[in-house]
Amino acid sequence: MMKLSLVTDVLKDLSYTEMLDTVQKKYGLNAVEISAGGWQPTPHIDREALLKDNGKVKAFKKELEARGMELAALNCSGNPLAPGELGELHTKTIRETILLAEKLGVKKIVTMSGLPAGGPHDTIPNWICSTISWPDYMPEALRYQWEDVAIPWWKDTGKLAKEHGVEKIALEAFPSQLVYNPRTLLKLRRAAGDTIGINLDPSHFFVMGIDPISTIRDLKGAIYHVHGKDARIEKDLAKVNGLMETKPVTDSYNRTWNYVGVGCGHDLQYWREFFSVLGMAGYNNDFVSLEMEDLTMSVDAGLRTSIDTLKNSIIK
C-alpha cells in the first residue's frame, strides 16, 4: 500500500491550520510533506520557534492528530555544499531540520545532495555533467567535489541523523546537484552510508532522458521517498534544441520541457506501471508526495488533475 501526501508549499497563502483543512476536506488527502527551509518558502512551519519551544511542538502535532493526518516528511531542499554564505545557511537548515524531525517523531527528511564549487578558491557551484576527458582540469575538479567536500559532509550529516533518530535522508536527484542520477546517488550512498537514499522524483529523470521505471531495480533498497511529479518534453522544440534548457520556468510556451500535472506528460498506463514496479521493488507502506509545479494551469486544476491520476495508479 502507498499513501498519497501533498508537498504543502503550493498552498503557501494559507495558514498551517487552513492548509491542513484544505488538504483534507478539499482534496481528500490525509498526509503532508512540509517545507522546513532551504529554497522553498516555509509558510506552515517555524523551524527555529519549534526547536526552542516544546509547547509549540505539541500544538503543531495536536493539529495533525485532531484531523487524523500524518506528517510524511520534512523537506529542506537546498545546497549545503555551496561555497560561502549559502552553503553555511543550508547546512544550518538541514541540520536543524534533523533536530526538528526528532522532536516531531519524523523518521525521514527530504533534501538535495548539494553542489560544491569546482575548487577551493571558487565562489560559485560548478555542475560538471560532460566528459572529464577534456578539458584536462575536469578530473581534479570532480575529485575535489566528491572527496574533499561532499563525502565528508554527508558522512557527518548521516551520523548526526542517526544520533537523532532520523533513519532516512531522501536526496532528490536533480540537475545542477552533485547527485543527479542513480549512479551518483549510489556512489554517495556507498561512501557516506545507508542513511542516504533517494527521493525518486520522476520529473527530473524525464527531463534528463532517464526512464524512471528503468531505474527502480538498480535503486532497490535505496528508495526512501517518492514524489508524484510529471514533466513533458515539448517534442517539436526539443527536436531542434535538445533538453539542456536555460529559459525560466515561467516561459512555458518556449521551453523544450515543462513540469506538468501528473498525467499531462505521461499517461495513466505509464504511472500504473511505475507504481507497480515500485511496489515489486519493496516500496510499500510509504508515501507518494504530490509536488505540483505546473505553471500551464491553475494550482487547483493542477492539484485535481494530479490527484486523480495518482489515486488511479498508486498501489492501494
Exposed (0-12), middle (13-18) or buried (19+): which is 65, by Cβ within 10 Å?
A: exposed
Q: Which residue has the cell 509558510?
A: 43
**What single-letter DSSP state applies at residue 125?**
B
Amino acid identity of 221?
G
Of 199, 261, 268, the closest CA to residue 230 belongs to 261
Distances (CA, A) of 141 to 106, 136, 285: 36, 10, 41
C-alpha to C-alpha distance for 254 and 237, rounded to whole angstroms: 8
**Mean pLDDT in consecutive groups of 10 residues from the start of the chain, 316 residues:** 96 98 98 97 96 98 98 98 98 98 98 98 96 90 98 98 98 97 98 98 98 98 98 97 96 98 98 98 96 96 98 91
Show the CA angle centred on residue 90, arms to residues 44 and 144, nearest 5°.
150
Q: Which amino acid is at 307?
A: I
pLDDT at 222: 98
CA-to-CA distance for 263 and 271, rounded, in angstroms? Answer: 8
Cell 512540509 found at: 34
Distance in angstroms (rounded) separating the CA atoms of residues 125 and 281:
35
Among 36, 165, 158, smallest CA distance to 102 is for 165
Helix (H) or strand (E) holding 96: helix 85-104
Say if strands 168-172 and 230-233 run parallel, antiparallel, or are unpaired.
unpaired
Chain segment 136-177, per-residue pLDDT in tens: 889 999 999 999 999 999 999 999 999 999 999 999 999 999
pLDDT in the model for residue 218: 97
Say how many Å lie between the first and final Cα of the chain, rounded: 5
- pLDDT, residue 81, reads 98
Residues 297, 299, 305, 309, CA torsion sign: positive
Distance of alpha carbon 24 from alpha carbon 127, whole angstroms: 40
10 Å CB burial of residue 172 (0-12, 13-18, 19+) is: buried
pLDDT of residue 135: 85
* Cα-based angle 258, 261, 264 (whole degrees, multiple of 5): 80
Q: Given 3-state DSSP classes, what are the helix, strand and coil percentages for the chain, each rounded to the nearest 5? A: 45, 15, 40
Give residue for cell 494551469.
Answer: 297
CA–CA separation, 295 vs 297, rounded Å? 6
- Cell match 520541457: residue? 257
